[in-house]
Amino acid sequence: MIEAIFTYDFLRQAFISGILIGLMAPLLGVFIVVRRLSLIADALSHVTLAGIAGSLFLSQSVPALALLNPLYLGMASAVAGSTLIEKLRTLYKHYQELAIPIIMSGGLGLAALFISLADGFRTDLFSYLFGSVSAVSYQDMWIVIGVTVIVLVFLIGFFKELFVLSFDEEYAHASGLPAKWIHFLFMVVTALVIAASMRIVGILLVSSLMTLPVAAAMRLAKSFKGAILWSLLFGQTSVLFGLVSAFYLDLAPGATIVLTSILILLIVIAIMGRKGRRV
Amino acid sequence: MEKYIEMNHVSFYYDKTEALQDVSLTVNEGDFLAIIGPNGSGKSTLMKIILGLLKPMKGDVRLFGKPVEEFRDRACIGYVSQKSNSFNSGFPATVYEVVRSGLAKKTGLFAKYPSDASDQVKEALISVGMQAYSDRPISALSGGQQQRVFIARALISKPKILLLDEPTVGIDQQNMQSFYRMLTHLNKHHGITIILITHDVDAVSKSISHVACLNRTIHFHGYQKEMESLSDEQLEAWYGHPVRRVKHEGGHVHD
Ligand SMILES: Nc1ncnc2c1ncn2[C@@H]1O[C@H](COP(=O)(O)OP(=O)(O)O)[C@@H](O)[C@H]1O
Ligand SMILES: [Mg+2]
């Protein structure tokens, strides 16, 4: 395997991207889970799919755009989706969760429209839905690296503020923290991570890489630092084990990565039993 | 003596509900003010307006002489909100991490916590008698213990004034006594000005210097000692129903 990584460019690109995604998805995921935004992440992934399908359709019908990387439109629509969700959440103050089905079905509807307009996209679409070991291009890898830098700068720069905001929103406002801005940036960064993770995990399973390692970590951790470290360990293990097994068994990595993290979660639940933290 | 808080003719509405009407209030350095009033009388609203969390429709608020919207030095103010509706229970964090987060407003964006943060956390926990719980998960504590931790989080930024919204709800009688002793100590020996929303006027009467009786508007505001001079009619007007008054040596008011 190690040898193959050095031999094949596509494998090296997949592994570098995978390791970075296994770093940033669970890291951001800790905040997503404690802020109860897991379903929003899921809705955003469906909006990203609309962007991807739209981009693939454009490439097919406009020759000049044939080489357009679908990640760009995917990212743009995820960011647009995240701002739309916030708008809807302020519009439906007392039914904030309504924003999720609205955005989710809107995203899926648009995606279905582009897919049927283009008369299906053959295998391309499958790799976007469930990930792929072989489809990560050199350019994709650099997009993932760029997004990782943005995520790390954001999380390290605003760590204290994100902690306060996640733990006690009213206290954050009373402390004079720019809570609105930080939340907005948080949603944008989440959208970027979702779009960037899609190449490896697939759009339908992206949000599980943000939530499953955290779900396992929360059973074990007594501190916030602990929750972060366990999430990183579980996320990274899932990605690496999932990628290797996907390569050898010729499976979609989305499937193997998510099933690995489910397995880790089950093991943690079994070991901790009733001793685990109630959350 | 410095004027810490000044509210002038403040009115506030939620949609159509009038929560506060023409409220004026001054709090000076060293005061220990108790705000009392029936449920729904606007006590929490008043505190949120002082903090700048809500904007009054009429009137103005000044903190340390500055209009509230221009006031930036948030470390001067410690706030502990009414428990039920605030913090994220089940959150994976230790008492240490929660108390340290009180330094965030002092530290600035992109900066790390100061290197002596752990000493500061220890000191804050000692002042609320919770030093033994530093490494415990916050969710594993009782309501009263959590409340003390939140006070430590407020104290760690060395505030000049502490605003507490019904901090003793869900705390048993015994712990309540020691809780108020702690507040008295902070007020008398550390010079921290305190505004306390409470229902237990009896328990705090020895510690507080001032009382404000609120029911949408202020019905009485003055020295604790002066409160017994209120007539029955005044009290009735305040509470909105007949008030049974019991007098002890201290002269407390029961409803
Ligand atoms: N977010 C809100 N939206 C609408 N009405 C509110 C809101 N918060 C409080 N109120 C109303 O404002 C009044 C004052 O509330 P509050 O300040 O919480 O009273 P207290 O703290 O004295 O119990 C009450 O009638 C309450 O129902
Ligand atoms: Mg209240």
Chain B closest-CA separation from residue A72 CA (Å)? 29
Q: Which domain holds residue B7?
A: 3-85+159-239
Q: Which pLDDT score, from 0 to 100, does residue A172 have?
A: 92
Q: Which pLDDT score, from 0 to 100, does residue B232 have?
A: 66
Q: DSSP secondary structure string, B32-71?
A: EEEEE--TTSSHHHHHHHHHTSS--SEEEEEETTEEGGG-
Whether B108 and chain A come into contact, CB under 8 Å, resolves to no
Chain B closest-CA separation from residue A195 CA (Å)? 26
- Tokens representing B227 are 């409160």
Does residue B105 lie in a domain region?
no
Among A3-17, A25-39, A71-85, the minimum mean pLDDT is found in A3-17
**Mean pLDDT, residues A182-200 taken together:** 91
Q: Which pLDDT score, from 0 to 100, does residue B247 have?
A: 46
Residues of chain B with pLDDT under 50: 246-255
Q: How many CB atoms are located within 10 Å of the residue B133 CB? A: 22
Q: Which pLDDT score, from 0 to 100, does residue A225 have?
A: 96
> What whole-number distance in Å separates Cα of residue B209 and Cα of residue B32?
5
> What whole-number distance in Å separates Cα of residue B33 and Cα of residue B221?
9
pLDDT band at A63 (very low <50, low <70, confident <90, very high): confident
CA A191 vs CA A32, A87, A184, A234: distances in Å: 12, 16, 11, 22
**Structural domains in chain A plus CATH codes:** 2-278 (1.10.3470.10)
**Mean pLDDT, residues A49-59 taken together:** 90
- Percentage of chain A exceeding pLDDT 70: 96
Chain A closest-CA separation from residue B32 CA (Å)? 21
Q: Which pLDDT score, from 0 to 100, does residue A48 have?
A: 92
Q: Can you tell me the ipTM of this complex?
A: 0.88
Q: Is the CB of B127 under 6 A from ligand 1?
A: no
**For residue B67, which phi and psi values (nearest 5 degrees)?**
-55, 140
CB contact under 8 A, A278 and B113: no
Does residue B41 lie in a domain region?
yes
- Tokens representing B14 are 């939620």
**Mean pLDDT, residues A112-127 taken together:** 79
Q: DSSP secondary structure string, chain A?
A: -HHHHHH-HHHHHHHHHHHHHHHHHHHHHHHHHHTT-HHHHHHHHHHHHHHHHHHHHHHHH-GGGTT--HHHHHHHHHHHHHHHHHHHHHHTGGGGGGHHHHHHHHHHHHHHHHHHHTT--THHHHHHHH--SS---HHHHHHHHHHHHHHHHHHHHTHHHHHHHHH-HHHHHHTT--HHHHHHHHHHHHHHHHHHHHHHH-TTTHHHHHHHHHHHHHHH-SSHHHHHHHHHHHHHHHHHHHHHHHHHHT--HHHHHHHHHHHHHHHHHHHHGGGSPP-
B82 or A24, greater pLDDT: A24
Q: How many CB atoms are located within 10 Å of the residue B2 CB? A: 10
Does residue B154 lie in a domain region?
no
> What whole-number distance in Å separates Cα of residue A175 and Cα of residue B157?
11
Does residue B187 lie in a domain region?
yes
Q: Which ligand is nearest the CA of B12, by number?
A: 1
- Tokens representing B20 are 């506060």
CB contact under 8 A, B92 and A175: no
A130 or A96, greater pLDDT: A130
Inform me whether the pLDDT recorded for A157 exceeds 60.
Answer: yes
Among A76-90, A108-122, A193-207, A230-244, the minimum mean pLDDT is found in A108-122
> What whole-number distance in Å separates Cα of residue B154 and Cα of residue B75?
9
> What whole-number distance in Å separates Cα of residue B30 and Cα of residue B251?
23
CB contact under 8 A, B110 and A218: no
Q: Which pLDDT score, from 0 to 100, does residue B251 have?
A: 41
pLDDT band at A232 (very low <50, low <70, confident <90, very high): very high
Does residue B184 lie in a domain region?
yes
Please name every residue paired with B196 in a beta bridge, in sequence order, or none if there are none: B34, B164
- Tokens representing B155 are 């104290």
CB B56 within 8 A of CB B10: yes
Does residue B44 lie in a domain region?
yes
CB contact under 8 A, A174 and B91: no
> What whole-number distance in Å separates Cα of residue B186 and Cα of residue B188?
6
Does residue B47 lie in a domain region?
yes
Going B233 to B18 to B52 to B144, the CA torsion angle's sign is positive
Chain A, 35-54: which have a CB under 8 Å from a chain B CB?
35
Does residue B107 lie in a domain region?
no
- Total tally of structural domains belonging to chain B: 1
The reply to whether the predicted model has a pTM over 0.90 is: no
Q: Which pLDDT score, from 0 to 100, does residue A121 have?
A: 64
